[in-house]
Amino acid sequence: MLYLSIIFALSAFAIYWIISSNKRKAKKRQQIASIPFPVEWRKILRKNLPFFYKMPSDLQLQLKDKMQIFLSEKQFIGRKGQEITDEVRVTIAAQACLLLLNRSTDFYPFLKTIVVYPAAFITRHAQYDHNGIKTQDARVLLGESWTRGQVVLSWHDSVSGGADFEDGHNLVIHEFAHQLDGESGVTNGAPPLNSDQSYTEWSRVLSQEFSKLQSQARNGQSSFLDKYGATNPAEFFAVSSETFFEKPEEMKRYHPELYQQLNNYYQTDPSQW
């Protein structure tokens, strides 16, 4: 009986601690969002992110609030001589926080660090053959999203992606879509959906669109979506997210069901901006 009492007491304390911690976090975020947005940051938005001024004014205000919270919680680290300036931080944060608009979010809860290289970088991953012999697989990348709390980005491609917001390619959106996807515990193209969304419908539409893109890539046919999305379901979700924000009108026309699923997920309609 005493043992059960102790278990119940510890459980009650754990629940209380979690609720109190969440309340403290929410209060702190509210305080951070209430701080006036720095004038220098506005200049950076105007210089590097022209899409910002095409957004409705309420979304502009919301994005700035989310950026301030994001920048207060995430650490930026430069590699290969890349200096971490306000320009780097603000340019990346603005694009990353686009994915959080109008949504109940915990600001990429598993993400701790954004590592920034000046340009494309080389990664080496260990691989083992059937004999157990280890080799290093070297790859040149523009970005990478890790489940271990890290996003790696090329600064050159991060800033150019924000400057040209109509070509359907955006490195920051791509890698941060992977972070959202991974919030389910596995990166597989099925992020945790909103309460009013159907996983059955999401699976039906995205599986159908993914298979279609795979077929187009396999047969050398032209496609509206970047064929890199045919790699696997996770890359399909990331590529679709890039296209959703950068080419919304065309996506709505050529892939209406896919657009609607992403519209429901991201809770915003870029075709109206």
Percent of the chain with pLDDT over 90: 79
Tell me what pLDDT residue 140 has.
74
Please return the burial class of 95, using the count of CB atoms within 10 Å of its CB with bins 0-12, 13-18 and 19+.
buried
Provide the mean pLDDT of the chain.
Answer: 89
Residue 86 and residue 67 in contact, taking contact as beta carbons nearer than 8 Å: no
Tell me what pLDDT residue 16 has.
40
- Dist CA 49 CA 226 (whole Å): 23
pLDDT at 254 over 50: yes
Tell me what pLDDT residue 142 has.
85
Tell me what pLDDT residue 22 has.
73
Tell me what pLDDT residue 52 has.
95
For the stretch 164-187, pLDDT in tens is 999 999 999 999 999 999 999 999
pLDDT at 14 over 50: no
CA dist 94 → 36, 49, 143, 235 (Å): 16, 8, 17, 22
Domains of the chain: 33-178 (1.10.472.150), 188-273 (3.40.390.10)
- Dist CA 190 CA 236 (whole Å): 10
pLDDT at 6 over 60: no
Q: What is the DSSP pairing of strand 113-117 with strand 150-154?
A: parallel
> In terms of Cα–Cα distance, which of 96, 136, 89 is closest to 115?
89
Could you tell me where the DSSP H helices lie in the chain?
2-33, 39-48, 57-73, 86-97, 155-163, 171-182, 199-218, 233-246, 248-254, 256-266
For the stretch 100-114, pLDDT in tens is 999 988 999 999 999
Residue 70 and residue 113 in contact, taking contact as beta carbons nearer than 8 Å: no
